Structure 1
């Protein structure tokens, strides 16, 4: 025999298991009860799950709450599938509804998951919701959820809104656990509604990992930071802090700090706290001619540890690093990677 209690045993993306759940099956649905409540309860219990809809219309056609997908680039099957899997979806039988969240100098799209450093630094968020009721009117609500809480908090329940526009609400980033923002819209007649997928902020589990958001360069590239090897006070093996997708034939500077941050800086986000410590300048290399993003920045941080230039470095200390590089066509003249958190080993 086989049995499975789905409400209790189901796991989400946090366990590389379920990707999402169905919250709408049928025609009219409003409010936060039923399958929507089941989904939210899973989120509060620590599951990372997207919300989708299903019709079960069979031979009867009606205007059910369908999956509305935000596709970037060409409208083809590959980009469509990627958008659905990335949670760039709102479920609706009428209103359009899209949520995004500003953190530091970055705007984070609906469905995105953002791993946070540890400890999570205090930061202000701006939650922005775009709505479109067409020729009608309705209300928009914004919810914040925190893993471990008994219920979500309603940050905003708007007055009656007509046509299209956006609403904003300002909040403080949750620093104790994984959290999210999502939005809900309902028309005045109570016959149509829409549910966004959340913007997730995911508590980290330690180790070496990237966090924060890189600045898009003037050439349209998104640089990516990574760590290869083990940071160590005594090892002769290297620990490289790398950055890919940076401009060729420029230079970059590796900086680090003893604390993380999300601060608007030079048109992007400074992922490090103050004071900043500068390591060294490195040439990006890449293709010898032309202007592209074939450059690579790399530095063995274990050589910096061994140099003894920073007397505060010690085994067990958590550090946060980021690359700055030259971007001559940028309004600020600079590019920024995302951040890298790592722990120095003995």
Structure 2
């Protein structure tokens, strides 16, 4: 398959899904037409993602599936932020709304009251830190950026707030575009796909076009492991992750301690660190540029070891 043909397929992806699906199995990640632009402009800095980076999770929620209630005071937040940075993360991702399946909805003002003080106190203590905000609400995103956040991580892909795309494009910060369906309260019932890889890619492609038309420059893609996907569908997306490089944007992967790990192993989220590291390593081999994790040190080690393998292969002329 030639590069010209590949490009045409993706331009017309919404009109010719059958051709795209048949083409998937002939794609090669070594074809340069599929190499994404692995840079981000973050607070005036040009961040190169050819060497993947780690995003450490800081949930200021009482009910997140793994660490809910652990970081509610300023002292707890600062200790967690210091650990994330000292272990080698590039981003601190602050979230104030639990998106675990069936999590209760909370008012916008409550979410703001959680995330804004956290962002401010982190940046007061660590003024050079890159802090992202995990929210699907445009006004929370705007307030967070005004408080110093430099990236918006939207688990809804713009579906839960019609103002998000326009807002984030005006804020001029990188945006994580994630695929999901429904809400945290309904998503487990919305897992009917004819071809999960094709449909997720198609949805992301359409939204990238919408964001670009509004002037959004920096976009990261997240296929949304566990969000309106069964365990089997999540593993299929991980297996096919390199196909998403055709959308020419860096890939963020969030599998940290999720049910796709611990249900497969018959354990719990608390016991899912080793499994998480295995899946993160597989994601790196499939083109992941950012690993979003609870356990930073282990993810940074996976990135370093994977990088050594990549450099070894390059020196040996195997790439």
What TM-score range do you get, normalising by the shorter chain? under 0.3
TM-score by length of 2: 0.21
Structure having the larger proportion of residues in strand: 1
**Higher Cα Rg, which structure:** 1
Structure in which a larger fraction of residues adopt helix: 2
